[in-house]
Amino acid sequence: MVNELRELMRENVGEPPPDHLDLGAVVGAGRRRVRTRRRLVTGGAALAVAAVVATGALLTPLGGAPGGDGRTDAAAGRGAPPAPDAPTITLADAEPAVEGRDYEVLTSHTNQNLNRDNGEYLEGTTDDGLVLFRDGPKLDRLYPTYSLLDPATGERDELPRLRIGQAQAWPLELSRERLVLLGNDESDVSGLDDLPLVAHVFDRGTREWSTIAWPDLPPVGFPSGDIGPDGRLYVGVPATQGGPPPGGWPVGEDGEADDSDAPGDTFRLWSVSLTDPADARDEGLSVGDVAFTDDAMVWTDSTNGEAGRVHVRDLATGEESSFDPRSGERCNLLGFGASGDRIVMGQYCGDYEGGVRDDRVQVLTTSGEQVVTLQDSGIDGHLPAGSEVVPVQSWGSTRRDPDAGYYAYDLASDRLLKLADAVSNFGVGGPTAGPREVMWHVPVNRRNGVTRYVGRLLD
């Protein structure tokens, strides 16, 4: 499957997939349609996933067709998912959020039909209260335009053109000093895994864009990373990748692969300067996922599979500690974040009878204490960098499933709130600078379009 996606990507390089298929949409739709939940591709191949999902193509599970190797019916005899080793809640425990009491809407934007044409998007919020607004490429304008939207007035300050053609870029940092978008240098498409990482930096003082690349940085595949408290960009260079067992993954009763308890992937941690292309250094650390708080770096042994131990380094003293997160024997780590003294781990832990999935959002302290685990079927949650709010999506088993919708778990109050009764087919935007801010999206126009919201939880 990966080879097929890579070939599809090569065919699409000259004519990229529709720009509205952002990373959130790719991951969300992919996780609904390919329930293995493993991040099967790296680098630009993620765009190929977008192309396949956009056309509604059926993706073949990694285990192959049922009956091919005797590894079918993975859920047979498993009964109900096991209880986590932690205080546990489900979506049924959520409180309906009331606007004006529990949250306020800062701004919203509706695209009526993204299946017909590209649209306009709320990409994230800056730490001085503005929203990065992107108008995607159109047939009569084959490049994106960016603006800073003032939610209070609705006025948009259009930025100078970022000359990236139809290449995609994802917001990483949106501050009052600069905007940082990550992408790949697509001038050389000899190999998807060889595309160099680039950062597009907009200096809000001089109002000028600059693009920086690092010749000494090995290829990292898909453009992603974290900015540490020191202002450096930390990225993972692929080291080892887990794979399916002989014969492929077992196949559940729904005909989809169940790759829970998969071996994880590891990366070599590097950091780079966002001002000096010669400043790229190997941090000498093998990691899975990495996250930062104001005073600590937190990482796992591996990701996209069994997570191993969680490690915490005090950035002031260099002192390190580690602990077993007690996630569960079959849990794959898919999302990882940290804020203050809290760590959030998004996980897929297997399929069970009746098409029930064991999906979890586990919240721990940085010392390893279990705070709470949200466990339910068909959910996905993660903690954006710098946020205290965990967005949780639930597509539901049917369109009328009462649990379907968009939720927010508030780390500050330990409350689970339900913000919306449905989730659109299109993803949400990028980072929110305010720790209490959250973005969510709902379907419109018979699910052909989307309304995206930027809001703030109230104390």
Write down the mean pLDDT value for the chain.
84
Q: Is residue 278 a contact partner of residue 216, using CB atoms and an 8 Å limit?
A: yes
- Reported as a single tens digit per residue, the pLDDT across 113-150 is 999 889 999 999 999 999 999 999 988 899 999 999 99
Question: Which residue's entry shows tokens 């285990």?
Answer: 63
> Residue 60: exposed, middle, or buried by beta-carbon count in 10 A (0-12, 13-18, 19+)?
middle
Q: Tell me what pLDDT residue 9 has.
A: 38
- Reported as a single tens digit per residue, the pLDDT across 400-451 is 788 999 999 999 999 999 999 999 999 877 899 999 999 999 999 999 999 9
Q: Which domain holds residue 220?
A: 2-457
Q: Which of 251-265, 322-336, 350-364, 406-420 comes out lowest in average pLDDT? A: 251-265
Q: Which two tokens stand for residue 339?
A: 């804020």
pLDDT at 53 over 50: no
Q: Tell me what pLDDT residue 13 has.
A: 35
Look up the pTM and report it. 0.84
pLDDT at 163 over 70: yes
Q: Which of 214-228, 343-357, 396-410, 433-447 comes out lowest in average pLDDT? A: 396-410
pLDDT at 70 over 60: no
Average pLDDT (173-179) is 96
Q: Tell me what pLDDT residue 131 has.
A: 98
Q: Tell me what pLDDT residue 189 has.
A: 53
Q: Which of 5-9, 149-153, 207-211, 399-403 comes out lowest in average pLDDT? A: 5-9
Q: Is residue 140 a contact partner of residue 91, using CB atoms and an 8 Å limit?
A: no
Order of strands across the sheet that contains 88-89: 88-89, 370-376, 356-365, 342-352, 332-339
Average pLDDT (372-380) is 96
Q: Count of alpha carbons within 13 Å of 302, Cβ hemisphere only?
A: 17
What is the rounded CA–CA span in Å between residue 21 and residue 231?
Answer: 29
Q: Tell me what pLDDT residue 400 has.
A: 76
Q: Tell me what pLDDT residue 396 has.
A: 79
Average pLDDT (250-262) is 81
Q: Is residue 81 a contact partner of residue 348, using CB atoms and an 8 Å limit?
A: no
| Cβ atoms within 10 Å of 320's Cβ, excluding its own | 11
Average pLDDT (55-82) is 46
DSSP string, 140-196: TB-S-EEEEE-TTT--EEEPPP---TT---EEEEE-SSEEEEEEE-TT--S-GGGPP
Average pLDDT (161-177) is 93
27: CATH: 2.130.10.10
> Residue 231: exposed, middle, or buried by beta-carbon count in 10 A (0-12, 13-18, 19+)?
exposed
**What is the pLDDT confidence band of residue 364, given thresholds at 50, 70 and 90?**
very high
Average pLDDT (240-245) is 90
- Reported as a single tens digit per residue, the pLDDT across 79-119 is 899 999 999 999 999 999 999 999 999 999 999 999 988 99
Q: Which of 136-140, 191-195, 338-342, 406-410 comes out lowest in average pLDDT? A: 191-195
Q: Tell me what pLDDT residue 67 has.
A: 36
pLDDT at 279 over 80: yes
Average pLDDT (263-279) is 97
Distances in Å between the Cα of 295 and the Cα atoms of 30, 63, 310 are: 34, 43, 16
Domain tally for the chain? 1
Q: Which positions ≥6 away from 111 have C-beta within 8 Å?
A: 20, 119, 120, 121, 426, 449, 450, 451
**What is the pLDDT confidence band of residue 14, given thresholds at 50, 70 and 90?**
very low
3-state helix, strand, coil in the chain (%, to 5): 10, 40, 50
pLDDT at 393 over 60: yes
